[in-house]
Amino acid sequence: MIAASAKIHPLSVVEDGAVIGENVVVGPFCHVGPKVVLKDGVELLTHVVVTGRTVIGSGTRIFPNAVIGGDPQSVHHDGAETTLDVGDLCVIREGVTMNAGTTEGGGRTIVGNNNLFLANSHVAHDCILGDHIILSNNVMLAGHVKIEDRVILGGGSAVHQFTRIGRQAFIGGLSAVSYDVIPYGMLNGNPGILGGLNVVGMSRAGMDKATIHQVRRAFKQIFEGEGSIRVNAAAIREEYAESAPVMQILDFIAAESDRALSSPNRGKG
């Protein structure tokens, strides 16, 4: 079904069965598969492939040579029909690739709203991404990665499979993210080392100085205390019960995960 207001260039292929919303623009030399949904206001500039069982949210723009919704790059993929859901108002730049999920991973790759994917970045199978995330050029997400809201990943950084990155963390360019990164954390290097907190990002997000100092104090208690990271975190829960940012960090640390936690020491020789 193609809405009457949609504009499909005659040099593009939109296969029967695709659902094309109001005011969608499909530029020349694009290919839209038969099980694709392009919601209202989506724009495919040129030479874009959207395939598989893929939904592209309203107002999302996709630039040339992006391939969205391809089969997962996994030796375990059994050929089952899995999905990719991309949210509203995303910008997907040149050469970006996003893959559908795998059966063993739940069958869905999920991308939230208002995200920016710069050229040649990659979102692998079964990833779950929140909102307002930036993947800079050549960022690589392996399978099953979970990224919370407002995370920024610098150019060329790579994230190990099953790794979690907490909200508003900052990952430096060319970093190797092998372990979970706490909310508001700042990680750099290969191997990646948690160097501290994303204070600049916290301030830009409107967090007041008193709250930032509170989070910094909690960070020291967690990572410089005598016990293990998890023991130290559990010990200060009552002290910071009224601090939402600190509690986000503590809940992140307490949650089950397939990966260990990044720290100021893990990764040093």
Q: What distances in angstroms separate CA 109 from CA 3, 31, 97, 118, 192, one per listed residue?
A: 26, 21, 12, 18, 25
Q: Give the contacts of 197 (CB within 8 A, at least 6 positions apart).
A: 184, 185, 186, 212, 215, 216, 219
Distance (Å, rounded) from C-alpha 8 to C-alpha 131?
29
Residue 25 pairs with which residues in a beta bridge?
Answer: 7, 43
Left (φ > 0), alpha (ψ -120 to 50) or beta: where does 156 sit?
left
Active site includes 125?
yes
Q: Which one of the listed residues 41, 143, 166, 185 is annotated catalytic?
A: 143
Within 10 angstroms of residue 225's Cβ, the number of other Cβ atoms is: 14
Q: Quote the Cα angle for 159-215-217, to 5°.
A: 115
Q: Spell out the alpha helix ranges (H) of the chain.
A: 199-204, 209-224, 229-235, 244-254
Active site includes 154?
no
Distance (Å, rounded) from C-alpha 119 to C-alpha 138?
6
Q: Which one of the listed residues 21, 33, 87, 125 is annotated catalytic?
A: 125
Residues 126, 106 contacting (CB under 8 angstroms): yes
Instruction: Identify the sign of the CA torsion 193, 195, 201, 205.
Output: positive
Distance (Å, rounded) from C-alpha 73 to C-alpha 5?
36
Q: Residue written as tokens 């050549």?
A: 138
Q: Which one of the listed residues 88, 126, 160, 172 is annotated catalytic?
A: 126
Residues 33, 18 contacting (CB under 8 angstroms): yes
Q: Would you name the residues annotated as active-site residues?
A: 125-126, 143
